[in-house]
Chains A and B, each alone.
Chain A
Amino acid sequence: MFLGIDIGSSSTEAALISEDGKLLAVAVRNAGTGSRAYEEVVRDVLSEAGTTMDDVRYTVVTGYGRTLYKEADRQITEITCHAKGVRYLMGRVSTIVDIGGQDSKVIKLDEDGNVKNFLMNEKCAAGTGRFLEVMTRVLGCSLEDLSDMADRSTRFIPINNVCTVFAESEVISRLATGEAPEDVARGAHVAVAKRVMGMCSRVGYSPKVVMTGGVALNSNMVDALSQELGLPVEVPPHCQAVGAIGAAVAAMETYKKIMGEES
């Protein structure tokens, strides 16, 4: 069996793949680097698959906290892992948009699923999941409710500030002048989508476009991005765990390569 772990900034995932490449188990915890969630997700996938670490032949770890998991055989970046994960789950894909807690990335793939080019957001939190988290605080809702709230919007309110801190003040002043929270919520989604759209344009995008990462669970965000791109945006199953699944795929490939070389 092959284990992949993705230790992100706000969540941690693990995935387990069988010898013949079947996805056996996936686990997600909403705690990232700085927590010990990686121990929990590993325990979760092993117990779901009814197995132990003794059966794991190779482990790949990815994500910002990748150095935390010392037992891994190899570290690989999220970029390569997302590419592998998407290829595994969705077949041929041309563009991946991954909106994570701290990073957004747009990855362009070639026909064989290799990374051709990619772009990550600049240092600030604009265009990342953190931006939406900050908005929920001001709008007084949970992350889960944010998407539904934005779905009820009837009027477009632009959020113009790209800086998360300034955007927060902008949203507060919009609410103070009596704008509906639903419209402001939609405005926040569109603001992130526009930022990501800029990255897509720079890297170059074409169908099929797939969105991964925790933010892909937010259907309003997927819709906003799809509207900006003028293309359908698909979301794979286990969208939050694509990095971990890709890491497990990388573990399988690396192991088979090593075995091949040895024999």
Chain B
Amino acid sequence: MAEENALTSKQLLNELTAKHYEGALQAKAEGKPVAWATSICPDELLAAMDITTVYPENHAAAIGARKEAMKFIEQAEGDGYSSDICSYARVNMGYVDLKHADAQDIPMPDLIFSSTNICHTVLKWYENLAKKLHIPLILLDMPFNHTYEVSDNATKYIRGQLENAIRQLEDFTGHRMDYDKLAEKMDMNNATCEWWKKATDWGKVNPSPLNGFDMFNYMALIVCMRNSEDGHKLFKLWYEELKQKAEEGKGPWNSAEEKYRIIWDGIACWPHLSTTFKTLKKYGVNMVTSTYPSSWYKVYETNDLDGMARSYTGNYANRNLDFGEDLMSSLIKDFGVEGVLFHSNRSCKLMDFRCYEVQRRITDKMGIPSVIFDGDQTDPRVFSEAQYETRVQALVEMMEKNKELKRRGDLDV
């Protein structure tokens, strides 16, 4: 009976997103502390200390998707921030001044919590926030892993910072860390991440029940709800829906068939989400996976701060090229990927720098075609629809050629 009234995961996603922001605004109104944190950070520590957290990157993406970014970008650029700086940073710095977005409002922070495993722009961006708003900054320096595996030295260095962050949080809140509660948050984080991984793994099925652009949307909650019961519920439900679709042999869309399976490398073009999606769908191209499922797979043994350190510094963006090549190669193999669409994202120097070399290695090793298009995660000015479509079409033509060769038995990929 209850089943009939049950929400779909998409409805639950929307409901939980609203709840996340309303909860944060409410907490602020009640005088409770609010932190702003980077998108892949050990926020279990914040949750265990009852600090409400919002994520400027999520917020900037939402503003971008609602085509509202320019107002904030212009504000930040007018304030002296260069147009070469990450557009998430520009949107967020603009928001600090304007304090209102039609897309969504967030409470101003009392604490900044920043982790450099995602990039080094956040180092100065978040420091600037703390300085501008006269609030404390907790910084976790997670150096780029030049070795294939995370080194023991890096682990020790980050573990020390996690312990220090706990002390800083105790000073900030005026109460001691409740380690039982922290363990609960870690447990929940691990469980949610497992469902995230299991759900996104449905992209391996052919046709894929997973539409990769849905993954872009669900990603917002793996950023902010890893350690909450709500997040756990959502990803489990999404998994079950995808499982059912897979069992029924359903592809990613109702109105079209999946003809080609690709990896989209990089962040979405939020201001042009619909164009980028529809163009791919028009040619039957489905993004079956990306490097994101593994980036938020933050699983480690509960109460193991070394494991926590290794996990948080070990995401794709913070790993060396050999690791990147291997990850991409195994995704291509496991997900039956036929081509790669690289987003040369003007905002993200870290991703752009590696993009050409990863492309070269993957093309040589895996023999599948790929193209690069220019765009940006939130700055709508850095994208040309016609150029995008030409590249997508070229990718399709090359994938089709491979299919043809495969049919004739001339290509054993």
Contacts and interface: CB of A to CB of B under 8 A. Distances in A.
A18 to B, nearest CB: 25
B16 interface: no
Given A77-B390, A117-B363, A202-B356, A122 B374 contact: yes
B397 A78 contact: no
A115 B356 contact: no
B133 interface: no
B382 A76 contact: no
A75 B151 CA distance: 52
Contacts of A115: 394, 397-398, 401
Which one of B374, B391, B397 has the greatest number of beta carbons of chain A within 10 Å?
A: B397
A114 interface: yes
A64 B374 contact: no
Interface in A112-127: 114-115, 117-120, 122-123
A123 B397 contact: no
Nearest to B360: A202
Given A79-B397, A114-B401, A115-B397, A120 B386 contact: no
A123 B387 contact: yes
B150 to A, nearest CB: 31
Interface residues of A, number: 17
Contacts of B356: 202
B397 A76 contact: yes
B386 A64 contact: yes
B311 interface: no
Which one of B356, B363, B374, B382 has the greatest number of beta carbons of chain A within 10 Å?
A: B374
A75 B397 CA distance: 11
B363 A79 contact: no
B401 A123 contact: no
B391 A123 contact: no
A77 B386 contact: no
Contacts of B344: 122
Contacts of B386: 64
Interface in B302-345: 344
Interface in B365-385: 369, 372, 374, 382, 384
B394 A80 contact: yes
B397 A120 contact: no
B384 A79 contact: no
A114 B367 CA distance: 14
A222 to B, nearest CB: 25
Contacts of A118: 394
A123 B394 CA distance: 17
Interface string A79-101: 11000000000000000000000
12 contacts: A64-B386, A77-B393, A77-B394, A115-B398, A117-B369, A118-B394, A120-B391, A122-B344, A122-B374, A123-B374, A123-B382, A202-B356
